[in-house]
Amino acid sequence: MSMIDKLHKPFFFTLIGLVCACAGIVIAKIWGIELPDDLFMKILATLGILILLFGFLLVVNSDFGQHKKLKDENYLD
């Protein structure tokens, strides 16, 4: 397993966990769990921001990892 793959896994699994948490909260709200609307929206907004952050970090990590790999193989100067 390359170093790039080792760096992707935590971001990827965290992203999956955040999406599942968001889905779980929405399903709980649909099925009648009493949660004030303002708190529900704050939780969803927070999870949305974290999803965007980890998605961004995954893409940046992938891009820099690919650039480093090409540089190490002397394809880039």
Q: In the structure encoding, which two tokens stand for residue 30, read together? A: 């649909």
- Is residue 39 predicted with pLDDT exceeding 60? yes
Amino acid identity of 63?
D
If you ran DSSP here, which 8-state letter would residue 62 be given?
A: H
Mean pLDDT value across residues 44-66: 86
- Does the pTM surpass 0.85? The reply is no
Mean pLDDT value across residues 25-42: 94
Question: Where does the pLDDT of residue 11 fall: very low under 50, low under 70, confident under 90, or very high at 90 and above?
Answer: confident
Between CA 38 and CA 45 the distance in angstroms is 10
Q: 58 or 65, which is more confident? A: 58
Between CA 70 and CA 77 the distance in angstroms is 9
Give one DSSP letter per residue of 1-55, joined into a string: --HHHHHHHHHHHHHHHHHHHHHHHHHHHHTT----HHHHHHHHHHHHHHHHHHH
pLDDT for residue 31? 95
pLDDT for residue 38? 95
